Amino acid sequence: MSVNELNQKFGIANILNFVEAAAGVPVVEITTAEASARIALIGAQVLEWQPAGAAPVLWISRAAVYQVGKGVRGGVPICWPWFGAGEAGKPAHGFVRTRMWQVRSTAQMADGVVVTLGIADSAETRAIWDYAFDLEMIVTVGKTLTMALVTKNTGEVPFTITDALHTYFHIGDIAQTIVQGLDGTTYLDKVLDFTEHTQQGDVIFAGETDRVYVNTQATCVINDTAQNRGIHIAKSGSDTTVVWNPWAEKEKGFADMAAGEYQQMVCVETCNAADDKISIAPKQTHSLVAVVSVL
């Protein structure tokens, strides 16, 4: 469907419209009195969310690439139906983050503008992962940002997934940033060969950080001291939180990150990962939800 057709069918005058970020890369742009946002149809990826009068909350690389078949470095990539490395020959973080999703509905509600995007199994997805599914990303843009990734098993056999809302947050200075809410939580440290540790106090950053916090349903707060704000991430349907910053050396390996950008970003990801697997019976659903607010 072309951008013009999308606007005719789903546009909301003076509030929501569709544009092309690049050839073949349609993006939803939303502007209200409360907030603005952008969502890419490729990957159903929330790219930006910014409460009115506030600094950007989500981080997007200055070197990000907008291209058919590719995800964008930043925002909220969706990892599904697996998180992390796939089996041999299969894409990392699953296959939905680089595919075109369909717009299912747009609406202006009391709590914000709601955009529902969807994708279902096809011969192409069955060749990668042989299950019948329907997946929706429901994004509510208002004073808070609510993202719900809803998995439905439309087949006759159960399946098991891991998934994530791999959220990149914009911060003033990683060296002045702490993440609260994980004290006492067990984590697997990917930088230290997946060894198991227990978080002591707040998460602070002084080098590459890549941690999978397990058995936690806690709300996290990013204390963005340099910008004098707290970013709150509440969640449901998630028992894992991943905290990631690549730091200077690892950043060099990403062609779609500009030099030094690691200093203005941190990922706090709402996940089901590692041994936290979700089994979904036929005709049943699972919802992974993150609610982001700024205080």
Closest Cα partner for 3 from 73, 103, 113, 95? 103
287: helix, coil or strand? strand
From 48, 93, 136, 166, the catalytic residue: 166
Phi, psi of 263, rounded to the nearest 5 degrees: -75, -20
Beta bridge partners of 231: 222, 294
Question: For residue 214, what is the DSSP state?
Answer: E
Question: For residue 76, what is the DSSP state?
Answer: B
Q: How far apart are CA 16 and CA 23, in angstroms?
A: 20
From 48, 136, 261, 269, the catalytic residue: 269
Does 261 participate in catalysis according to the annotation? no
Longest Cα pair distance anywhere in the chain, in angstroms? 53
Joined together, the tokens standing for residue 35 give 């907030």
Does 286 participate in catalysis according to the annotation? no
Phi-psi region of 261 (alpha: psi -120 to 50; beta: other; left: phi over 0): alpha
Helix (H) / strand (E) containing 125: helix 123-128
Question: 168-170 and 265-272: which strand pairing?
Answer: antiparallel
Q: How far apart are CA 160 and CA 285, in angstroms?
A: 12
| Triad 196, 202, 204: Cα angle to 5° | 85
Burial class (CB in 10 A: 0-12, 13-18, 19+), 255: exposed
Phi, psi of 95, rounded to the nearest 5 degrees: -125, 0
Gyration radius of the chain's alpha carbons? 18
Catalytic residues: 166, 269
